Amino acid sequence: MEVRVREGDSLSYFGRLFMIPLELIVDSNENIDPSSLKPGMKIMIPGYVSIPYTVKEEDTLWKIANAKNLVMDSIMVLNQMKNPNKLVPGEILYLPERITQQHVRSKLPFSSKILMKQITTLKRFYPFINVQTIGKSVLGNPIQEIRIGKGLKKVHMNASFHANEWITTMVLMNLVNHYLISLTNRSAIRGINTINLYNETELSLVPMVNPDGVDLVLNGPPASRHDDVMNINEGSNEFVHWKANIRGVDLNNQFPANWEIEQARKEPKSPAPRDYPGKSPLSEPEAIAMADMIKGNPFDRILALHTQGEEFYWGYEGFEPPESEILAKEFERVSGYKSIRNIDSHAGFKDWYIQEYKRPGFTIELGRGINPLPLSQFDDILKKVEGIFLASLYL
């Protein structure tokens, strides 16, 4: 929501007026020097929308504010009113309304276009978040990263490395939306004061690593790739079991962590709906984008959301630090998921991160069943993984 500065206004006053933590207002207006506000300047207030209201004959500003549980001056600053006693019946006022409900919806699977709309909506309502494109997919779809928080600790999470695991994108976006609402409403999640997490931790999120693959599973092959995709899928119009990117390369077998072992033992030796590691490590633009993002940022830990199994993996070839076990025990406690240190697998994103940086990395397998998991499991998955989401930020 946008307001304009009046004589004597300050960002701290707006924080008190709208009951929003000052740091969120400051970060929502990064291009403005808080000490040099001038009348007429536009200021973004996060966590609010403005709602039109038609003035009635018997209305006063006090009555409207009281009925809507608002401070009178919040209405005056939003409408640039100088005299609260000059209301005209029939005129339109705008009332500030706090956002308390999530705008990320989970009734339908998220295609890449739906995800982009959701990210745009979150950025509009919560302008203190930063959104950037870290790369593009084979088909040119943007791979977007969301950043939240200003702390020294840096945590990264991602989802939908695998196409038919699109439910992980929905889970991550819902977790983020809940976190943002908690921040602007000064409300705790599971007893945790989230503004402290915001100040202590910078959270990085890539909600959809494999946009082309997700779109293929949900909508079928695009015209530009129809014949190639159909050949890879052996002529079948059924794509529910497709994990790879649009070129038939499994993105979570693309990283230089004993990639040669996976190449030798994986059954597909050419593009396939799943398990083909490519002709070389980091051959695919989606994998390159993720690797470059990690190389350019000193993350303290990473979490990759996958499905299924209600378990998580956190070791790789003995490169994991002692901190990983501490985190694993807490993740297991708060989620009920099974903690597994090592499995016979290589070339994954988590494997490469642990090998290269000797820091905690986790592959979290959400839910149980056959991929793609049904949306009927969504609420249960969300409830269990919320504890891991929070613990990754507060530990």
- Indicate the Cα dihedral angle 327, 329, 332, 335, nearest 10°: -60
Distances in whole angstroms, Cα of residue 267 to Cα of each of 11, 274, 275, 278 = 60, 10, 8, 12
Q: What's the rounded Cα separation, in Å, for the pair 304 and 205?
A: 10
Amino acid letter, 82 = K
Q: What's the rounded Cα separation, in Å, for the pair 349 and 241?
A: 21
Q: Is 10 exposed, middle or buried (0-12, 13-18, 19+ CB in 10 A)?
A: middle
Q: From start to end of the chain, where are the E strands?
A: 2-4, 42-44, 48-54, 92-98, 130-136, 142-148, 153-159, 201-206, 301-307, 311-313, 338-340, 361-366
In 87-166, alpha helices (H)? 112-125
Q: DSSP 3-state assignment of 130?
A: strand
How many distinct helices (H) and strands (E) make up the chain?
A: 14, 12
Q: Which of 256, 254, 257, 255 is nearest to 277 (CA)?
A: 254
Amino acid letter, 275 = D
Q: What's the rounded Cα separation, in Å, for the pair 294 and 35?
A: 36
Q: DSSP 3-state assignment of 132?
A: strand
Q: 202, 286, 330, 365: which is the annotated catalytic residue?
A: 365
Q: Which of 207, 14, 48 is nearest to 127 (CA)?
A: 48
Q: Decide if 311 is catalytic.
A: no
Residues noted as catalytic = 365
